[in-house]
Amino acid sequence: MSFEYEELPVFSEAIMPPVVRGTADLTEFAYQGHGYDSLIDRIGQSHGDVAARMYDTAIACQLAFRRAEGLNSQDEALERSQVFRVGGNTTRPDKPSRNAPLRLLALAGPGDLMVNTPLDFLTNTLDVRLDLLYLLPDRPLPPALPDHDVAFFALGEADAPTLQRLRRLFDSWPRPTLNNPKFLPALGRDTLARSLAGVAGICSPTAVAVTRTEVEAHLHTGRPILGFDPARGLYPCLIRPASSHAGIGLARMETRAELADYLRLSFERNFFITAFEDYRSPDGLYRKSRIAFIDRQPFLCHMAISQHWMVHYLNAGMTDCAEKRGQEARAMAEFDEGFARRHAAAFSELHQRLSFDYYSIDCAETRDGQLLVFEADTAAIIHLMDPPDMFPYKPPQMRRVFTAFDEMLRKRACVAGMAAQDVNDPAFRRSIPPPAALHLSSR
């Protein structure tokens, strides 16, 4: 279906979408040790709306590693409604209270939990009402949407037709907007690596997209993988399926024999191969940080410390080691004057290539002090789920993050005073180009 001349909806406070618990609420509940049955009980206790129940069930299934079942439930939910309102966790004692919450509309896409920016991890701590509008490839926008102060383009990835649609919507949306989708292609692992290659202060290991046929040709004939420096060679390298996230299918290859074994055990057709950079600290441990950029300001959201090169916070043993937690606490306390100042020029180079209002990177420091960028993303989870008795340094740090996000939303809501105007008023309609006021023009 073509959306070249898609009509923009009217905005109305009378629109009341189905209310869901949402990703953050259910993920935090699962993080506390509750299984699938408990998640389903929690969903059943919260609402009777069928669309909302199917939406939350889709999340519960994915949290329980029942992905196919979850995506089927999501399809059923989206058949009933394209718009949902996140009820969130309203019991937080530190949640600020205002008479009129800021109204945030997120434009999202169908798919698994890693497709969209998980905004409710941020907004559930704030005086923000979050509505989710799902863009479906075979369906136009609803004729009416909840009115809002800011629209956030939350898709973290998009195919070419969806990207074109997103760009037209972003350019024509009659409310203030955040996270221009035109920069999404720059997030690709291979694209980002190429754009950062040779930038002073940044280590960006070579990353190339390859087909199974190309890998097999390398294994059978010794043909080089295009894009890798012949002088360095291919090994050691990392390989992962092109569509994978969170380290699923990621492995380190030291030899052609290991790569051949990996390929025999995989049914995937497309991969990313990345040069491996040994980023061990002098003490032999690997340290990987997640840094959020909010309106270009950096915030350290976690630092995981592990003996293994593949570092994830959940498998790094942070809960088992007070010394590691102490190092993370010091890293957070010293971040502004330490890490952020050392890499300010590198951050500036990143912002030139990734001009999002909000995004994050997973990164480390090389042995010679460069910023080692593993990946950049708009859909990474920034959260405060760790138990405060074990991680007492995290609530103050994450409140800074949430406050910065809140300030960015409110600043954008005031741009040109648009939030105070009635987009449905004929006088306002005349202020945007007729007859394209209700149609998106190709740009």
Quick: pLDDT tens for 37-63.
999 999 987 667 999 999 999 999 999
pLDDT at 425 over 90: no
Extract the runs of DSSP E, i.e. beta strands, from 10-88.
10-12, 19-20, 83-86
Task: Identify the pLDDT of residue 47.
Answer: 67
Per-residue confidence band for 424, with pLDDT thresholds at 50, 70 and 90: low
Distance CA(264)–CA(212), nearest Å, equals 11
Of 96 and 221, more confident:
221
Task: Identify the pLDDT of residue 418.
Answer: 46
DSSP letter for each residue of 43-62: HHHH---HHHHHHHHHHHHH
Of 373 and 441, more confident:
373
Distance of alpha carbon 117 from its chain centroid, rounded? 4
Task: Tell me the residue length of the chain.
Answer: 443
Under a CB-based contact definition with an 8 Å cutoff, are residues 110 and 136 in contact?
Answer: yes
pLDDT at 246 over 90: no
**3-class secondary-structure state, position 148:** coil
pLDDT at 13 over 60: yes
**Average confidence (pLDDT) over 206-224:** 92
Structure tokens at 182: 């035109």
**Average confidence (pLDDT) over 314-325:** 93
Tens-place pLDDT, residues 172-199:
999 999 999 999 999 999 999 999 999 9
- Residue 242 identity (one-letter amino acid): A
Q: What percent of the chain has pLDDT over 90?
A: 80
Cα dihedral sign, 427-431-432-433: positive
Angstrom distances, CA of residue 120 to CA of 63, 114, 260, 379, 384: 16, 13, 42, 12, 12
Which residue, chain included where needed, has tokens 């999002």? Answer: 356
**Average confidence (pLDDT) over 129-152:** 96
For residue 9, what are the β-bridge partners?
Answer: none
Task: Identify the pLDDT of residue 438.
Answer: 32
Q: In the 8-state DSSP scheme, what is residue 232?
A: T
**3-class secondary-structure state, position 428:** helix
pLDDT at 415 over 70: no
Which class is domain 206-275? alpha beta
Cα dihedral sign, 252-257-260-264: negative
Residues of the chain with CATH 3.30.1490.20: 206-275
Distance CA(145)–CA(148), nearest Å, equals 9
pLDDT at 91 over 70: no
Count of C-beta atoms within a 10 Å radius of residue 180: 15
- Residue 125 identity (one-letter amino acid): T
Find the helix or strand (DSSP H, E) in which 365 lies: strand 358-365
Count of C-beta atoms within a 10 Å radius of residue 229: 10
Task: Identify the pLDDT of residue 420.
Answer: 43
**Average confidence (pLDDT) over 378-405:** 96
Of 47 and 368, more confident:
368
pLDDT at 258 over 70: yes
Per-residue confidence band for 419, with pLDDT thresholds at 50, 70 and 90: very low
* H helical segments located in 133-282: 160-172, 189-196, 212-221, 256-264
Structure tokens at 10: 């009217």
pLDDT at 349 over 60: yes
Residues of the chain with CATH 3.30.470: 286-377
Distance CA(418)–CA(148), nearest Å, equals 11
Least confident of 267-271, 286-290, 415-419, 436-440: 436-440
In whole numbers, what is the pLDDT of the chain averaged over residues? 89
Per-residue confidence band for 164, with pLDDT thresholds at 50, 70 and 90: very high
Of these ranges, 4-8, 16-20, 416-420, the one predicted with the greatest mean pLDDT is 16-20
Q: What percent of the chain has pLDDT over 70?
A: 90
Task: Identify the pLDDT of residue 312.
Answer: 87
Shortest CA distance to 325 belongs to which of 305, 339, 296, 340? 305
**Average confidence (pLDDT) over 272-291:** 95
**Average confidence (pLDDT) over 357-377:** 96
Tens-place pLDDT, residues 61-73:
999 999 999 999 9
Domain 286-377 has CATH 3.30.470: yes
Of these ranges, 45-59, 290-304, 311-325, the one predicted with the greatest mean pLDDT is 290-304
pLDDT at 421 over 60: no
**Average confidence (pLDDT) over 107-134:** 96
Task: Identify the pLDDT of residue 427.
Answer: 43
